[in-house]
Structures are given as C-alpha cells and as structure tokens.
Amino acid sequence: MAGPMTDSHRRFLQTMMCNGIVDGAKAKTLHRLCCEIHKVSYAPDKLDEFVNIINTHLQPMFMQIRKGMSEEDGQQYYALVNLADTEITRMASDYSDNELELFRKAMDLIVESENGMACSTDILNLADKLQSKKMKKKEVEGVLQRLVVDKWLCEKNGEYTLSTRCIMEMEQYIRNMYQDLVKLCNICHNIAIQSQMCENPSCGIKMHVPCVARYFRGRTEPHCPACNEFWPHEIPGKLTVLLLRNL
C-alpha cells in the first residue's frame, strides 16, 4: 500500500503539470527540492517510490507520471500522461481542425517510414492534401514550429520525428492507429518509431538507436539479435556515454 500524499508530492505534481515532461536529472533535483522545502525525509534512490505514491492518487483521474526513454539519445524522462484520452483530440484546445489533420498526416509519414523520420519537404507537400481546409506552405511551416515548441515533434536538419513526450502521451493512440506497423524494440520492448530495422525480410525486428549502441557495444561484428544476419546500419558510438549514464 502506497503512503499518503504529502505537500512534497503535491509540489512535484504541480511542477509536472506545468512542464508536461522533465528529464531524469531534473526529476531527481525536483524530488530533492520538494522534500527539502516541505521538510520530509529524502533518499536519492527513492524517486520511483515517490512517484508511485503520486500515481496511486492520480489513478482515479486516469493520469499517471510515466518513465520513458528518448529515442534519440537514450536519456530517461518523466512525463505526466493522460490515460483516459486515447485520441489526438486532447490537443484540440491548442490546434484547429486542419492543424490537427496536418499533425495526423505528418505522424502517418513518420510512423510509416522505415527510420521514424519525415523530411520537411514531404510534410510541406501535405499542405494541399488536407481535407478539412487547405493550408499555404508558409502556414504549414508555422504549425510545424508550434508543434516543436509544444514538444509534440522534434526537428533536426529538416527531418521531423515524434518527440519523447508525444510517444509517451500518445502511445495508446499510436498502437491503435498503426497496429500492424508499430513494432516493439527488440532490446527495451518499448514501441520503436525512430529506430533501425533488420533488413532480413523474414525478420525485420527494430531497435532504437540508443539500444543499438548499447547492444553492439564491444562486439566486433554486429549481427541481428533475432536472426543473426549482419546488421547493416551505422552503429552509433557517441551515444554510448550518454546511455551508460542512465543505466
């Protein structure tokens, strides 16, 4: 049975409500600060227990603070997610119908791609394919910028990916919408969008890039962990340090 919710838990939850998502390091600092301010006992290794107490009290409201991993660098994150609403409509107060349609279509491009990315040209080309109300390319650019600021999408060198927040919040939606397409990472068993895929057609497993780095570290010849075929993708090295920090 989880303990009672104290002011330290309430303060932690309030910060999560403001931020939506914080990285693992920030969550640790926040945990310490909340305990110090409200003079309750603090143990650095008790963050997950602390969060579990909050989650017990959030359960009737179908909300949860969930731990997840960035597909980009393997960093750990904590996000406040809504479990009741499995539709994109939760964004409806911030985005108009055609903006949401654009987001859905961009999401299609990203999830249906092999590596979990969509280039800006392809997304801009959606402008005149919208059914609700067509947009000019300039308007699409504006919406994309807002989606990045609001932490639904990430952009790097003109390639768009689903943000960590988006995957954590929309996991159920993604699973419902793209049932056959969505695969779990062979290593961490979370859904894998931005990932590498085994090129053996009878295998086709996916691994997150940071999971690839972790799995192949120290192995001379990379082979698929499922079918043992040669793994033909670039093995990221620089991520390893970041990743190990979070193990």
* Interface residues toward Zn ion, by CB under 5 A: 185, 187-188, 198, 200, 203, 208, 211, 224, 226-227
Q: Which helix (H) or strand (E) holds 240?
A: helix 239-245
**CA pair distance 133, 146, nearest whole angstrom:** 18
Q: Which is nearer to Zn ion, 141 or 199 (CB)?
A: 199
- Smallest distance, Å, CB 122 to Zn ion? 25
Identify whether the C-beta of residue 198 lies closer than 8 Å to the C-beta of residue 231. Answer: yes
CB of 206 to Zn ion, least distance (A): 8
| Strand locations in 2-57 (E) | 21-23
Return the number of the residue (126 or 162) whose C-beta is nearest Zn ion: 162
Tell me the two tokens of residue 42.
Answer: 């603090």
Largest CA-CA distance found in the chain, in angstroms, rounded: 58
Residue among 33 and 111 whose Cβ is closer to Zn ion: 111
| Local structure of residue 225 (DSSP, 8 states) | T
Q: Looking at beta carbons only, is 148 or 188 nearer to Zn ion?
A: 188
What's the closest the beta carbon of residue 25 comes to Zn ion, in angstroms? 20
Q: Which two tokens stand for residue 185?
A: 């990472």
Q: What are phi and psi of 203, to 5 degrees?
A: -115, -80
CB of 91 to Zn ion, least distance (A): 26
Amino acid at 215: Y
- Of residues 71 and 169, the one with the C-beta less far from Zn ion: 71
Could you tell me the smallest distance in angstroms from the CB atom of residue 190 to Zn ion? 6
